[in-house]
Structure 1
Amino acid sequence: MTKDECFYLGKIVAKFSFKGEVLIKLDTDEPEAYTEMESVLIEYNENLVPFFIERSSLQKSTLLRVKFEDIETEQDAEDLIGAHTYLPLTMLPELEEDQFYFHEIIGFEVIDSEHGNIGRITGINDYTAQALFEIKKGDKDLLIPMNDEFIEKIDKPNKTIYLNTPEGLVEMYLG
């Protein structure tokens, strides 16, 4: 299985006990949806390796305490710290029609109510306080806040997102 067939679940951030347990910082709005997993894929030496879960429970809000099969000691757990965890895309929960996962909308055309087609989504920048659509129009790169008030409609079958951006935002990029 490749990363293209998976979604990022979180990062192993710490050991939890002397019995080989670890804490995974989950990158999700619904951590409780991931407490009953049988396994995860861990990025190890640039490969995704399946690790089977004996037991898991939530610690605080987004930390998942996990005991993996065959990880029995603190040293075994230490080797996993910093590793990224993934799950197959097929394990993502279904969303409502007007909702989307970031990976789903890459390649969608963006139609603005004032400016028409303003380009194609090339990525999502979620490293800022507010996630941004990264849009490419010719040789120009646009960053549009992913704000519910700007999103008018998501047309998944036609791979199009309709926006109503505030005055001046698109002009700032397209001049």
Structure 2
Amino acid sequence: MTKDECFFLGKIVGKFSFKGEVLIKLDTDVPEMYLEMESVLIEYNENLVPFFIERSSLQKSTLLRVKFEDIETEEDAEDLVGALTYLPLTMLPELEDDQFYFHEIIGFDVIDATHGNIGKITSINDSTAQALFEIQKDEKQILIPMNDEFIDKIDKENNTIYLTTPEGLVELYIG
């Protein structure tokens, strides 16, 4: 399985006990959803390796305390600290029609209420204070904040997202 077929679950941030338990900082708003997992994929030596879970519990809301099979000592656990964890995309819960996962909308056409088709979404930049749609229009990149007030409709069937952007925002990029 490759990273393209997976979503980022979290990062192993520390050891928990001398019995090989680790803490995974989950990248989710709903950590309870991940209490019943049988396994996770851990990025190890540039490969995704399945690790099977003996038991898990939540610690302080978004920290998942995990005991993996065959990780028996503090030294074994130390070897995993800093590793990234993933799950197959098929394990993502279904969302409502007006909701989306970032990876789902890559390649969607963007129709602005004023300017019509302003390009295709090439990626989502979520490293800023507010996530941004990165849209490619010919040779230009357009950045639009992912603001619920701007999103009119998401048409997953036709791979199109409809926006009403503030006056002047699109003009910054396309003149």
TM-score exceeds 0.5: yes
Mapping for residues 16-31 of structure 1, pairs under 5 Å: 16-31=16-31
Following superposition, the deviation at residue 4 of structure 1 comes to 1.1
Q: How many residue pairs end up in the alignment?
A: 175
Q: For residue 67 of structure 1, give the secondary structure of its aligned residue in structure 2.
A: strand
Residue 161 of structure 1 corresponds to which residue in structure 2?
161
State yes or no: 1:64 paired with 2:64. Answer: yes
Alignment root-mean-square deviation, CA: 0.7
Q: For residues 19 and 138 of structure 1, what CA distance do their matches in structure 2 show?
A: 56
Following superposition, the deviation at residue 33 of structure 1 comes to 0.5
Q: For residues 33 and 134 of structure 1, what CA distance do their matches in structure 2 show?
A: 30
Mapping for residues 100-115 of structure 1, pairs under 5 Å: 100-115=100-115
Instruction: Give unpaired runs (5+ residues) of structure 2.
Output: none
Q: For residues 85 and 125 of structure 1, what CA distance do their matches in structure 2 show?
A: 20
Alpha-carbon displacement from aligned partner over 1:53-100 (angstroms, at most 9, x marks no partner): 011111112111111000011110111111110001110001001100
Q: For residues 144 and 90 of structure 2, what CA distance do their matches in structure 1 show?
A: 29
Residue 133 of structure 1 corresponds to which residue in structure 2?
133
Residue 119 of structure 2 corresponds to which residue in structure 1?
119
Runs in 1 of length 4+ with deviation above 6 angstroms?
none
Q: For residues 81 and 106 of structure 2, what CA distance do their matches in structure 1 show?
A: 30
- Identical positions, percent: 85
Instruction: Give unpaired runs (5+ residues) of structure 1.
Output: none
Q: For residues 60 and 135 of structure 1, what CA distance do their matches in structure 2 show?
A: 38
Alpha-carbon displacement from aligned partner over 1:10-60 (angstroms, at most 9, x marks no partner): 111111111111111111111110011000000111111000001111111
TM-score of the aligned structures, taking structure 2 as reference length: 0.98
